[in-house]
Structure 1
Amino acid sequence: MTDTGSSARTDAVEPPASVKLTLLTLTAMVVGSMVGAGVFSLPRRFAEETGVAGALIAWAIAGVGMLMLAFVFQTLAVRRPDLDAGVYAYAKAGFGEYLGFFSAFGYWASACVGNVTYWVLIMSTIGAVWPSLGDGDTLLAVALSTLGLWAFFFLIRRGVKEATAINKIVTVAKVVPILVFVILALFYFQPSVFADNFGGADYAGSLFNQVRGTMLATVFVFLGVEGASVYSRHAKRREDVGRATVLGFLSVFAIFASVTIVSYGLMPMGEIAELRQPSMAGVLEHAVGTWGKAFVSVGLIVSVLGAYLAWTLMAAEVLFVAAEDNDMPRFLSRSNTADVPVPALLMTTLLSQIVLVVTMFSDDAFNFALDLTSALSLIPFFLAAAFAVKIAFRPGREGTVGDSTRRELVTAAIATLYTAFLLYAAGLKFVLISFILYAPATLLFIKARREQNRRLFSPAEAVICAVSVVGAIVGVTALATGWIEL
């Protein structure tokens, strides 16, 4: 979760406490956060749902909505400089500890599930020459992914956390093949093919359903837009956090939209929809030959390995900070001599392992993990946007610095409506599956409260807990009866 289709997903490695980050470095973190595995899967993901017209509308909606969300993070960085942990901190400050806990857990879980998309995509890429790996969801693929998963655990445990240079190196390594793809696609662009793809294929359905079907993909690729805010306490200047968020977003938006649209000028969308992932490799192979597929595949593997390392660190950071704030059990706040939060890192790896096994039972492992990542991230994003609306209506209250403007209120309101629409677009299936993860997580909240000798739930929190438990029960029942499928 954070590309995808990381997708977005961050390559931002947390710097040592003594390092102060400049605007350029923070912007690189945002770009690295959003340009991940997902962008390499965008052609097929869009072609499965929509033609050129629907893609243009979808990117316009996603662009406006996510830009408003970027403005929200910019505003909150200035208005609440005391909140240093990003998305999770905003939810807690705005709506209480229990929803703050859910936000932290959801953001963490989305990162863990998103990490699974990386291994699935790597195995699918290698599967093009080693058929036993299939689409990344065979027993052999899962076994090899498991080895990689735990190899990274032991690597990070030794102190890779300090390797801040990884972000810059990997960002360059993955952006170059994407830009080369766009340039070559424009050179081989066929206007007649593009025109035939404009309205969509017979299987695409109504224009509204086409657009709706792409929404979770656009969420996944934009995960990481909050990358600068997560490490805001390391910024040399607080205002650079918001600037980096907007600059990084605009740069990445141009890349994602370009990759999607130019692909429609190379192949009929029905053929793009049948490509194996990473579909960008198949599209370029169609245009320039076998070397194009190899070029994209190598770029993807470099990108994905760097992104996996970074998002594992990001996920562990969320649990660690929440534990330090007494919103997670104390054992998650422990770190070793290399300053790596090993218990949080272990929990992150374990959840990724569980989801990796679940992908073997999914009809489409990559898209399942992608959509679940997006769905889990929506509640944290919704709460952050709603918090921005709240402080806009109550200037000077709750520790807010300065007075909110009408523009800030409008952008916060649009971002809130956009994230609410995304929850609708996700559909009941992924909402229920999210509850299956959220409800048991409450045990961590209970443990943290007991450690502090506090009352477990306030009346409002008890209601929220009941809703999550009922949602989880319905979700498990729906899976067991076949009403919803993985």
Structure 2
Amino acid sequence: MKESKQLGLFALIALVVGSMIGSGAFNLAGDMALGANAGAILIGWIITGIGIVALGLAFQYLSIHKPDLDSGIYSYAKEGFGPFLGFSSAWGYWLSAWLGNIAYATLVMSSIGYFIPVFEGGQNVASIIGASVLLWGVHFLVLRGVHSAAFINTITTICKVIPIFLFILITLFFFNIDKFTFEFWGSGGFSWSSVASQVKSTMLVTLWVFIGVEGAVVMSARAKSKSDVGKATVIGLISVLLIYVFITIVSMGVMTREELAALPTPTMAYVFEAVVGKWGAVFINMGLIISILGAWLSWTLFAAELPYEAAKDRVFPKWLAKENINKAPVNSLWLTNGLVQVFLITLLFTDKAYNFMFSLASSAILIPYMLSAFYQVKLVSIKENRKQFIIGIIASIYTIWLVYAGGLDYLLLTMLLYAPGILIYKYTQKEYGVTRKDTAFEIALMIIFVILAVVALAEIFTGKIDF
């Protein structure tokens, strides 16, 4: 029997929250402490809060005023800037989705390794086998239907926030203001250059934990009401922002920056263990396993949905538009998880695979986010809506800042992933019999993508980019 149910407001909020609160929340304090002190981290949160809320409001506005653009994150780029940038946005978002799932696989096996030592570290042969079993378990769950998977995601989202709330509430009672303010700006005190560098170091971390803000937009074609898409985006975003800020602050009031940075993953487990004892680490690790499995499920939905919608919109190859009897995007799902399986093997050869994969996933999604913000500016400038124009400008500045803060290495590695997409773009145009010629601007972008990809390869082979 074919699945006909659609997603309501609560399910959409759960998708947004569930996709954002994944592995990153549980390692947030440690990841930020690697490059920044408390003062710079607070500034980073202010910048991120303003920027990500503006981006969320842009998604809300676009979902309401452009309800016909059902695939959101890529269709905004296509509508606003033409087919090549539309394709590139879809390609980058899809890359980010399945690369993020590799990061999830690494951390979930590391957490299981807390209980079963054979998986310790999450980067050995046993971990790859275990992650592969989970990968295909999620795969066949999604094949049963998007609504069924979304329902399970709602349950796991509720389960994952319980340990996080408990962590925040209990750790607040042990908050030490002296530890929080110790070397607040760094050992040398405040200096603009030092603080700016520290703030930059937090940007890909904060972006990683907010990837998924567009989750309701990606699934908007399956929503009961288009107005619920915007509501779910804003409600989910504000809720998660508050949770993240509290996680970071209470952790830095329990341990110094150096202590946090030296902790194994997941940081939250060992912070909680320092506060309440061994059971705290057990509790958090169990919560993390549930959290990642829920986020993994959400991102498998997104990663499969976008190529499917793009194929229906004649942006990706036709065969990706195939559904099974349960209305699940079957070919898109097989391709996506097949690539995840192949790339899981690379965990054996990459130091700190989790950090590398989440940074690469964050970098890959920057272009889709940037183009969505730019489209908001273009759309409202025509309609002369000053409020929405300002929101679009803030979101655009934020996404440009993220590209800068991410650094040249990750930009080059991202282009190494984007450049092969040009071949798929050309193949798709030929498959659909598109006679439109690329504009001079589009040709220039293709050339830039290829040049930067070649530079990336050269930097890798010479050892200047280190994995």
TM-score over 0.5 for the alignment? yes
1:343 partner amino acid: N
Checking the alignment, whether the CA contact within 8 Å between 2:119 and 2:127 is kept in structure 1 is yes
Q: How does 1:20-419 map to 2 (within 5 A)?
A: 21-22=8-9, 24-159=10-145, 162-200=148-186, 206-395=194-383, 404-419=384-399
Structure 1 stretch displaced more, 376-385 or 432-441: 432-441
The residue number in structure 1 matching 2:427 is 447
Task: Report the AA paired with residue 30 of structure 1.
Answer: V
Query: Structure 1 stretches of 5 or more lacking a match?
Result: 1-14, 396-403
| 91 and 310 in structure 1: CA distance in 2 versus 1, 3 angstrom threshold | same
Are the counterparts in 2 of residues 329 and 451 from structure 1 also a CA contact under 8 Å? yes
Write out per-residue CA displacement over residues 171-229 of structure 1, whole angstroms, 9 at most, x where no aligned residue.
11000100000011101112222221523457998111111001001101111111121
- Larger displacement relative to structure 2 (154-163 or 300-309): 154-163
Displacement, 1:351?
A: 2.3
Instruction: Report how far residue 139 of structure 1 moved.
Output: 3.0
Structure 2 residue ranges without an equivalent (≥5): none
CA contact (8 A) 1:106 1:376 kept: yes
Distance 1:113 1:329 in 2: 21
The superposition leaves residues 236-278 of structure 1 with CA deviations (integer Å, 9 ceiling, x where unpaired) of 4433322221221111100001001110111121111111111
Which residue matches 1:6?
none
Q: Which whole-Å CA distance do the structure 2 matches of 1:301 and 1:203 have between them?
A: 39
Change (3 A) 1:17 1:466: farther
Asked if structure 2 preserves the Cα contact closer than 8 Å seen for 1:50 and 1:201, the reply is no
CA contact (8 A) 2:112 2:289 kept: no
Could you tell me whether the CA contact under 8 Å between 1:161 and 1:313 is conserved in 2? no
Q: Could you tell me how far 1:135 is from its partner in structure 2?
A: 2.3
Residue of structure 2 equivalent to 1:434: 414
Change (3 A) 1:245 1:42: same
CA distance in structure 1 between the partners assigned to 2:286 and 2:73 by the alignment: 33
Q: Judge conservation of contact 2:3–2:326 (CA < 8 Å) in 1.
A: no
How far apart are 1:118 and its partner, in Å? 1.0
Matched to 1:19, the amino acid is Q
CA apart distance, 1:170 = 0.8
Q: Contact 1:51–1:201 at 8 Å: present in 2 too?
A: no
- Any idea what the Cα deviations from partners look like across 1:40-92, whole Å, max 9, x if unmatched? 01011011111211111000000000010011111112221211111111011
Q: Distance in 2 between matches of 1:328 and 1:445?
A: 7
Does the aligned pair in 2 maintain the 1:17–1:234 contact within 8 Å? Answer: no
- Cα distance in 2 for partners of 1:284, 1:229 equals 35
| Distance of 1:20 and 1:280 partners within structure 2 | 32
Query: Which deviates the most, 194-203 or 410-419?
Result: 194-203
Q: CA deviation at 1:39?
A: 0.1
* TM-score (normalised: structure 2): 0.94
1:142-164 deviations in Å (ceiling 9; x for gaps): 23222322343344334465343
1:311-343 CA distances to partner (integer Å, 9 max, x unpaired)? 111110000000011111111111222222221
Q: Is the 8 A contact 2:20 2:211 kept in 1?
A: yes
Letter in 2 for 1:94: G
TM-aligned CA deviation for residue 440 of structure 1: 1.1
**Corresponding residue SS for 2:420:** helix
| One-letter amino acid of the structure 2 residue matched with residue 125 of structure 1 | S
Q: Secondary structure at the match of 2:405?
A: helix
- 2:27 and 2:266 in contact (8 A); partners too: yes
Number of residue pairs matched? Answer: 463
Q: After superposition, give the CA deviation of every residue in 1:285-326 in whole Å (9 maximum; x if it has no partner).
A: 011110000000000101111211221111100000000111
2:246 maps to a residue whose letter is S
**CA 1:84/1:370 → structure 2, altered by over 3 Å: closer, same or farther?**
same
Aligned partner of 2:449 among 460, 464, 468: 468
Deviations 1:110-139 (A, max 9, x none): 010111111111121133344443422223
Give 3-state SS (helix, strand or coil) of 1:394's partner. Answer: helix
Name 2:466's counterpart in structure 1.
485
Q: CA RMSD in A?
A: 2.1
1:376 aligned partner, one-letter code:
A
Structure 2 counterpart of 1:449, which letter? Q
> TM-score when scaled to structure 1?
0.91
- 1:5 match: none
